[in-house]
């Protein structure tokens, strides 16, 4: 039984907007969390929201605009994580995990969960205080490439832009949840290291 990713919070509800740029109109229906992510990305890039959506639409080749926007948001989040190199930048990792528009969490080098966002808590049906400060492997099993284990994450820190794809399983009474994930260890010379884990699909 695969529980999938069912967002139960208001951030998972759909909203439709009509945007106009360069004489074209775009009708886009997305979850609130993706609209939030788009607004934040547009602000970081210094462009208007309608211009950002138009740029994404210009790169779509027969694919759904909504799907392309979701993929763009995830790719931008991954790039943002990989840019967190210095201790000062790393302090924003908690905010990044909390606002990413998919289930996500972060663990420290000892494997303890230090932050879990609302979509992740909705997905597993747990309260934050049952996860925070507890071992990742108490709640989840991670299956990656042959020879990969959770300890390998911290060896990956020495490789530039190290990203690992894997499968995550959460077993709860009466159900089994599985999902594809991305694991990104944050490299930092003076602060404790973190690994961001988020569900991709």
Q: Which tens digit of pLDDT belongs to each residue from 27-50?
A: 889 888 888 888 888 887 788 888
Give the pLDDT mean for 87-104: 73
Segment 48-77, tens digit of pLDDT: 888 888 888 888 776 788 888 888 888 887
Nearest to 50 by CA among 82, 15, 78, 25: 25
Residue ranges making up the domain that contains 143: 93-199
CATH of the domain at 25: 1.10.3990.20
Regarding whether 71 and 153 lie in a shared domain, the answer is no
pTM above 0.75?
A: no
| Biggest alpha carbon–alpha carbon distance for the chain | 53
Nearest to 28 by CA among 14, 16, 37, 39: 16
What pairs with residue 142 in β-bridges? 168
């Amino acid at each position: 039984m695969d529980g999938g990713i069912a967002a139960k919070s208001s951030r998972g509800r759909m909203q439709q907007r009509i945007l106009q740029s360069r004489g074209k109109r775009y009708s886009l229906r997305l979850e609130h969390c993706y609209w939030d992510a788009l607004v934040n990305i547009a602000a970081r890039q210094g462009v208007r929201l309608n211009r950002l959506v138009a740029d994404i639409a210009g790169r779509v080749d027969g694919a759904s605009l909504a799907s392309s926007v979701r993929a763009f948001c995830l790719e931008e989040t991954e790039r943002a994580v990989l840019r967190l190199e210095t201790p000062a930048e790393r302090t924003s990792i908690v905010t990044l995990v909390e606002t990413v528009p998919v289930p996500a969490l972060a663990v420290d080098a000892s494997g303890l969960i230090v932050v879990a966002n609302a979509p992740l808590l909705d997905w597993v049906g747990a309260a934050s205080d049952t996860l925070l400060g507890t071992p990742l492997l108490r709640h989840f099993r991670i299956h990656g490439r042959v020879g990969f284990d959770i300890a390998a994450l911290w060896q990956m820190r020495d490789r530039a832009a190290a990203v690992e794809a894997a499968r995550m399983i959460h077993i709860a009474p009466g159900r089994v949840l599985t999902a594809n994930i991305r694991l990104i260890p944050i490299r930092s010379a003076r602060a404790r290291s973190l690994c961001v884990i988020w569900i991709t699909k």
